[in-house]
Structures are given as structure tokens and as C-alpha cells.
């Protein structure tokens, strides 16, 4: 036993002496090696500390590149289409609205499609509550108006003789009418508050019966799709089956349109998942082919309490590195189309017009810092 302890101590002594001799050799014979190790260690620590800054700088460069592409396509998109792409008569863009509130963003949607898309067909499904003034404005931007019946939970509960609970978004099922437009081989439906940032005509080439973007960005698990952008083949039989499914599943609770389409297409393996970049919501994301003002961040621009003035929007030239900048881009588009299509008189007659904000001197950024600002005191 004592011999084993002695052997252990001897081995430790030999190891310590060996390490010491090696260190002395390196220190005196290879002084540069110590210097290199020290400097390299400092470099590693520095890289770790600035990694977040590097990521930010990289994202900023991508945002600047994306913004320049946006500007180039806005200016020259239609020139690029000429001689390269023939507009397909059997393809169409389509949106739907049931009041004047969503006619406002539909103008920006139509204006954006006219700048970016090589395909000219644009159909707007409108219910009886959309005013004639709004319809005329939509036509000037390029929408072809189709009058349809408003569809939502109130509608089906009334049809079934159920108590009207006024649940869900008003008119959200109205898009189902689009499945009856079988004169087209492919339809791209977009919510009125969907704002394209580039040409996305490649969506017309998607194979299959139905496609929609995933609910969440890569790395986040959320098994669903968002119905704000849909690519599908219209079919009268599909329309009937979707309506039948809605009827059968509405009893104590009325499912929204997105849930119904999920069960009809995804449950049967007929859903093609589109990348999140086609339907970005609530965050900045690269690439961002379109931004959808679907919820609360940022608020829907046309009804939010703050907006940029016309001068601020015209001079705006910054990449979208903050989600709030998508709203300024929205206003830049809206002010432009009002001028181009001589819609100022109509716009000023709507409840969304705010003279003091649009022609005042307060920036939108400062406006948001004033908790009770309404734009009436300027």
C-alpha cells in the first residue's frame, strides 16, 4: 500500500517537473508562441463580445439591399415585365372586403401589385356595405369590382337559426366566393392589408390545389398556415364542400375561415407550405417579400393614432430594420397613389383623413412618444 502511494507521488512529481520544463522551454526558446496564444485568446474573447453587433450589421446590410431592390422594382418593375412576360388572362389577383375600412389598404395592395406584378387581372370582391366612393377609388387603382354577399359567423348563424354571437372578424369568410371563379386556372388571394414588397408572380407557378404560408418563421413551431395569402385552383365542387364543412362544424361555435381551410386542405394532405417570407407579420424578417398588417405590431396604419406627414413619407428613404417602418412605407404608398389617381377629394371625405397629421410638422416617431396625442391640437 505504501509503495503504491509512493509510486503515485513519484508520478505526480515527474508530471509536474515535465510540465515545468516544457513551460520553461516554451517561454525561453519560443517566446513568440506565448505571445501568439495570448493575442489569439484576446481575439476570441473580442469576437464573442461583438458577435451581436456583427449580426446587427449583417442584417442592416441585407435590409439596405432589400430596400434598394424595393425602390428599383417600384420604379422599373413594369419596364422589366414588358417584352419578357405576357400577362396571363387565366390568372388573377383577388381580395375581398365588406366595408370602407379595408378599402383603404386594398388601394395600397392594388397600387403595389400594379408596380410589381406582370399579371394585370385584379378582382376585388365587395359586399353591399362598401360605398360607391370606395368602389370608384378601387377601380382607379386597377381593381375590377365584383359584388358578393358578405359571409361570416353572423351569416351562417342566421342561416342555421342559431343565436347570433357576433364572434370572429366581420366578413372574413367572404373570400370563399373566390372558389366559384372557375374562369381562372389560378387565383392568388391576398387580404386587403397585405403589402407586397417585390414581384411575387412566381406564386402563380406553384403546383397543387392550395398553398399558403406557414404561421411562424423558421425555428418556431406553430403547425398552421395564415390565410392572408392563398394560392389555389378555383373549383365549384371545392366551394360546395368548404361551405358544407362550415355548415356541419357550426353549432355551439363558428370556426373562422382559416380553421375551415386548414381542415379542408391540410387534413387531407392538399396544402403546399409557402415560405414565411411571403407573409411576414409582426416582426422584421429576411427576406421579406411582403408584409401583412395582420394584428397589432404595428397597428393597422390607416386607423392607428399616429401617421407620418405627407412630407415625411415622401422623404422617407430608410431600410426596414424596425417593424414600425413598414407603416411608414404603407403611408408612402398611399400618399403616392392618392396623388397619381387624383383621389385626394375622396380621401378627405373619409373618416380616416386627418389634416393636422398629414400636413403638420410632428414626426410619426415623436407622435408615438406622446401617450395621448390624437392629432387635433396641431
Segment 175-208, tens digit of pLDDT: 999 999 999 999 999 999 999 999 999 999 999 9
In a domain, 329, yes or no: yes
Q: Are 98 and 178 members of one domain? A: yes
Q: 8: pLDDT confidence band, cut at 50, 70 and 90?
A: low
In a domain, 334, yes or no: yes
Dihedral sign computed on CA atoms, order 237, 269, 208, 256:
positive
Q: Are 225 and 137 members of one domain? A: yes
Write the CATH number for 254: 3.90.550.10
Residue 11 has pLDDT above 70, yes or no: no
Q: Are 220 and 265 members of one domain? A: yes
Q: Mind listing the pLDDT tens digit for each residue in 230-239?
A: 999 999 999 9
Q: Are 245 and 335 members of one domain? A: no
Residue 245 has pLDDT above 90, yes or no: yes
Output the pLDDT for position 229. 98
Distance CA(123)–CA(178), nearest Å, equals 10
Contact of 325 with 308, CB cutoff 8 Å:
no
In a domain, 324, yes or no: yes
Which DSSP string do the residues of 309-357 spell out, in sequence order? Answer: -HHHHHH------STTHHHHHHHHHHHHHHHHTT-HHHHHTSTT--HHH
Could you give the number of structural domains in the chain?
2
Residue 62 has pLDDT above 80, yes or no: yes
Q: Are 99 and 246 members of one domain? A: yes
Least confident residue range of 41-55, 65-79, 215-229: 41-55
Percent with pLDDT over 90 in the chain: 76
Least confident residue range of 18-22, 70-74, 117-121, 142-146: 18-22
Output the pLDDT for position 15. 65
Q: Are 133 and 259 members of one domain? A: yes
Distance CA(161)–CA(277), nearest Å, equals 42
Higher pLDDT, 378 or 63: 63
292 phi/psi in degrees, rounded to 5? -115, 115
Residue 82 has pLDDT above 90, yes or no: yes
Q: Mind listing the pLDDT tens digit for each residue in 257-295?
A: 999 999 999 999 999 999 999 999 999 999 999 999 998
Instruction: For the chain, give the longest Cα–Cα distance.
Output: 105
Q: Are 342 and 242 members of one domain? A: no
> What number is the average pLDDT over the span 109-122?
98
Residue 1 has pLDDT above 60, yes or no: no
Residue 376 has pLDDT above 50, yes or no: no
Pairing of strands 210-214, 194-196: unpaired
Domain coverage including residue 157: 90-292
Percent with pLDDT over 70 in the chain: 88
Q: Mind listing the pLDDT tens digit for each residue in 297-349?
A: 899 999 999 999 999 999 999 999 999 999 999 999 999 999 999 999 999 99
In a domain, 57, yes or no: no
In a domain, 76, yes or no: no
Amino acid at each position: 500500500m505504501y509503495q503504491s502511494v509512493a509510486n503515485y507521488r513519484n508520478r505526480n512529481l515527474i508530471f509536474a517537473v515535465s510540465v515545468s520544463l516544457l513551460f520553461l522551454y516554451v517561454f525561453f526558446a519560443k517566446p513568440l508562441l506565448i505571445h501568439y496564444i495570448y493575442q489569439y485568446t484576446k481575439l476570441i474573447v473580442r469576437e464573442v463580445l461583438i458577435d451581436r453587433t456583427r449580426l446587427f450589421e449583417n442584417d442592416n446590410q441585407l435590409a439596405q439591399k432589400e430596400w434598394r431592390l424595393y425602390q428599383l422594382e417600384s420604379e422599373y418593375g413594369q419596364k422589366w415585365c414588358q417584352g419578357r412576360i405576357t400577362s396571363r388572362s387565366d390568372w388573377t389577383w383577388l381580395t375581398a372586403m365588406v366595408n370602407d375600412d379595408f378599402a383603404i389598404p386594398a388601394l395600397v395592395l392594388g397600387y403595389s401589385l400594379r408596380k410589381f406584378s406582370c399579371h394585370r387581372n385584379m378582382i376585388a370582391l365587395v359586399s353591399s356595405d362598401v360605398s360607391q366612393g370606395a368602389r370608384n377609388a378601387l377601380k382607379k387603382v386597377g381593381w375590377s369590382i365584383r359584388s358578393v354577399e358578405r359571409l361570416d359567423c353572423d351569416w351562417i348563424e342566421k342561416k342555421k337559426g342559431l343565436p347570433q354571437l357576433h364572434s370572429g372578424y366581420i366578413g372574413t369568410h367572404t373570400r370563399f366566393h373566390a372558389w366559384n371563379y372557375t374562369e381562372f386556372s389560378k387565383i392568388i388571394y391576398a387580404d386587403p392589408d397585405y403589402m407586397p414588397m417585390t414581384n411575387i408572380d412566381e406564386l402563380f407557378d406553384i403546383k397543387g390545389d392550395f398553398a399558403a404560408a406557414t404561421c411562424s418563421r423558421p425555428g418556431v413551431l406553430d403547425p398552421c398556415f395564415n390565410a392572408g395569402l392563398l394560392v389555389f385552383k378555383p373549383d365549384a365542387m371545392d366551394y360546395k364542400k368548404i361551405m358544407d364543412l362550415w355548415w356541419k362544424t357550426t353549432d355551439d361555435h363558428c370556426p373562422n375561415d382559416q380553421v375551415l381551410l386548414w381542415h379542408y386542405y391540410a387534413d387531407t394532405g392538399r396544402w403546399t407550405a409557402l415560405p414565411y417570407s411571403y407573409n411576414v407579420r409582426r416582426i422584421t424578417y429576411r427576406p421579406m417579400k411582403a408584409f401583412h398588417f395582420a394584428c397589432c405590431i404595428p397597428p393597422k396604419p390607416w386607423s392607428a393614432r399616429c401617421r407620418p406627414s405627407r412630407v415625411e413619407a415622401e422623404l422617407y428613404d430608410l431600410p426596414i430594420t424596425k417593424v414600425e417602418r413598414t407603416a411608414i412605407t404603407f403611408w408612402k404608398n398611399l400618399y403616392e397613389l392618392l396623388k397619381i389617381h387624383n383621389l385626394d377629394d375622396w380621401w378627405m371625405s373619409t373618416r380616416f383623413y386627418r389634416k393636422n397629421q398629414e400636413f403638420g410638422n410632428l414626426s410619426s416617431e415623436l407622435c408615438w412618444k406622446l401617450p395621448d396625442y390624437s392629432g387635433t391640437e396641431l
